[in-house]
Structure 1
């Protein structure tokens, strides 16, 4: 089926898994086909269900069943049985990535003119009857009117950042110290004040005033002591007589 790439429209997902959505290739009643590219430059074709088909359990299961049947067989007994049954015909595109969540999608290598990811959307819509011939008009699924792309749910938010126990204890200690200092300052500023005690009177300083020297009184004049007589039993030596004064002879 020839497809023409058109620009993305409002509601188209900008990214699906590891692929950046570049353009829209097809818009089918059951889903959309996009042109995607990974970080290595590989171009893929991505099929995404509509919101109505993704909400219908039966339609979503038909899409996933066709994708699982075309997926590369795994090793072991299941892989051997799948290879023996010849699962995966040549016309089935090779699955390189898929998402089986609430908004399933599948990615296959993009080959111009080859089978793209739109091949998996053909099995979603069931028409006709399972037994007998078709009589009357065909039925229409109830979800066919909701043709908006089934956008994947956003990733869950990251857990809130948590600090280590040591950091929490340090922060609590700093907070307690700050509160204590604030309370002490408030108590000093706003608390009850005691009556002011008058300061004690200082001891006066010592002054040294000079005093005049003592003046002797008249009663304290020195008088010559009398010469003791020899008979008084004095032990002192006699004073020699003074020489006669020459003036007395004149």
Structure 2
């Protein structure tokens, strides 16, 4: 494997399948190669197509075909390829064994990581050009339209799990509990509304007595009487202490 190991960049996935990605190993014309770690701790090399190559059905088919061809061979043939396969550009003679793969709209492949050895980039070689029996297709006007795309084709996120299916017993219990709560709510509402109307309204309290102080009564002054003439005939004589009507006007005897 050639190329300088670089950190993961923006847009790189943290995981591909069960493998945790740690760094970039190579950026190829057809995709990207990552350094990853398997769940059991093994170091692996993971190759994914670029977004443009994954949208090309022919390029995607060449990538998946190379992976399946390497999976189908065992023993000595797992490390080599026939003359026709090499000429057609399917696999490389030093293709490593496949640990895991996934096809579909965003395929990927994982192989054991060998420092300075062949890795998952071998499966990206047949993607750029299919080749013929007389050589590879080349020319000034021949180029894949998706060349230059450096964004990885990421698999779609897994679908959310289906909602749990409730058993018949749980449904019956839930329905009973709901009916009980509704009945209790109706009973409380009836007690608050109708029972309040039946109760007599309590009498209103009398207003508080207010004491207003009044002034004490004043004695009435007697009216002045007209002076009466005395026996001497003077007008300023004092009135006889004996009233005239006591002795029929004759005075005391």
Same fold (TM over 0.5): yes
**Cα pair 1:128 1:138 within 8 Å, conserved:** no
Deviation at 1:65, TM superposition (A): 1.1
Q: Which structure 2 residue ranges, 5 or more long, are not aligned?
A: 86-90, 201-253
For residue 154 of structure 2, the aligned residue among 140, 151, 172 is 151
Cα RMSD after superposing both structures: 3.3
Distance 2:156 2:137 in 1: 39
State the partner residue of 1:167: 170
Instruction: Flag structure 1 segments of 5+ consecutive residues without an equivalent.
Output: 197-250
Provide, for residues 189-213 of structure 1, a one-character-per-residue CA deviation record: whole Å limited to 9, x for no partner: 32385697xxxxxxxxxxxxxxxxx
Determine whether 1:33 maps to 2:33.
yes
Q: Return the offset for 1:181.
A: 2.2
Q: Does 1:100 find its partner at 2:103? A: yes
> Larger Rg: 1 or 2?
1
The whole-number CA distance in structure 1 between the counterparts of 2:169 and 2:125 is: 60
Q: TM-score, normalised by structure 2?
A: 0.65
Does the CA contact (< 8 Å) of 1:13 and 1:151 recur in 2? yes
Q: Superposition pairs for residues 12-91 of structure 1, below 5 Å?
A: 12-73=12-73, 91=94
Distance 1:29 1:101 in 2: 20
What is the distance in 2 between the residues matched to 1:106 and 1:133? 24
Distance in 1, Cα, partners of 2:135 & 2:161: 55
d(CA) in 2 for partners of 1:133, 1:50: 22
Deviation at 1:99, TM superposition (A): 0.9
C-alpha distance in structure 1 between counterparts of 2:71 and 2:139, whole Å: 37
Q: Which moved more, 1:160-169 or 1:21-30?
A: 160-169
Partners of 1:41 and 1:183 in 2: how far apart? Answer: 63
> Contact 2:53–2:146 (CA<8 Å) still a contact in 1?
yes
Number of residue pairs the alignment of both structures matches: 190
